[in-house]
């Protein structure tokens, strides 16, 4: 599962790291990103990488209302090619959801202890994502997304049995290219990231408490 992540890298570095050619996103750094927020993602159109904002919580185009998005902020790699909610997006609408790190919680009797996982290189990375466009009953177009998860690697396994898919740098362009439709090659990307390239650190739980709406 991936229910919280962080992205605080400077925008100029993101543009360079992911070869962004066009901007369609109101990028805002955030240490505590959660489902229900608009998040930064890279898509490819006409051969160019575009930074866009997607609502985190995928709403399939055929959904009658938006409430389904509350449960669809993650998609399991094992079933995305078959499940109606994700199948079409997997074929044509793949993206990279940008992050510096992500959080997982370890259950310790009556408490949960959060840990942050990131790359040893300290560079931002792309999480494998899918996106959809949903038209509300009021005819408002909403772009939404989900983060794909897979089995945890050896570093994360003691904390949680799932992790978001981090797309390796050399496979990023292949993943977001809408003309690629080889299911086997795309599914092969959705593997646990090498643990030796990652680091973990405990986090103060107080920084992950979302303020209540006024």
Catalytic residue among 52, 95, 104, 172, which?
A: 104
185 is catalytic: no
191 is catalytic: no
| CA–CA gap between residue 41 and residue 144 (Å, rounded) | 10
- Which residues are identified as catalytic? 2, 104
């Amino acid at each position: 599962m991936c229910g919280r992540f962080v992205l605080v890298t400077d925008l100029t570095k993101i543009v360079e790291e992911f070869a962004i050619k066009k901007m369609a996103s109101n990028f805002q750094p955030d240490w505590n990103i959660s489902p229900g927020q608009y998040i930064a993602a890279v898509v490819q159109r006409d051969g160019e990488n575009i930074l866009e904002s997607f609502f985190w919580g995928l709403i399939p185009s055929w959904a009658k209302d938006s409430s389904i998005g509350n449960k669809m902020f993650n998609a399991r790699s094992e079933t995305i090619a078959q499940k109606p909610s994700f199948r079409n997006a997997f074929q044509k609408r793949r993206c990279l959801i940008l992050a510096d790190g992500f959080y997982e919680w370890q259950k310790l009797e009556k408490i949960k202890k959060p840990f942050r996982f990131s790359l040893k290189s300290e560079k931002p990375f792309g999480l494998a994502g899918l996106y959809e466009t949903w038209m509300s009953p009021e005819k408002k177009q909403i772009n939404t997304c989900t983060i794909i998860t897979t089995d945890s690697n050896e570093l994360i396994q003691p904390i949680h049995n799932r992790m978001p898919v981090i797309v390796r740098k050399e496979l990023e362009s292949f993943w977001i290219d809408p003309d690629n439709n080889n299911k086997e090659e795309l599914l092969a990307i959705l593997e646990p990231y090498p643990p030796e390239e990652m680091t973990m650190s405990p986090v103060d739980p107080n920084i992950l408490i979302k303020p209540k709406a006024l």
